Amino acid sequence: MAPPIAPPIALDGASRIRCAELPADLGADVVRVERPAADLKEPAGRDRALRLIDRAEVLIEGIRPGVTERLGVGPDGCLARDLAHRSAARHRHA
């Protein structure tokens, strides 16, 4: 008998409460990442966030345009990692 399929992991870095509601309703394990846990300005915070991203199937982010690209996890970086990307930023991406 094949082992059960583990639910996908959705990494929620958006500040809006309902952004990850749909993935959770569809059975994903949602991991919320908030600023004190992962300060992206510090190397340790960046490393911690990237380790979480490597385990996820979905990335929901709500930070300024360009920040995820500098970390290598913008839309193109997520595509290369076979990771779904959703921006919930209040600012428009150009």
Model confidence over 31-81: pLDDT tens digits? 887 766 667 778 888 888 888 888 888 888 888 888 888 888 888 988 888
Q: What is the pLDDT of residues 4-13, one digit of tens each?
A: 567 778 777 7
Q: Is 24 helix (H, G, I), strand (E, B) or coil?
A: helix
Q: Which domains does the chain have, with CATH numbers?
A: 9-87 (3.40.50.10540)
Whether residue 94 contacts residue 65, with contact meaning beta carbons closer than 8 Å, is answered with yes
Length of the chain (residues): 94
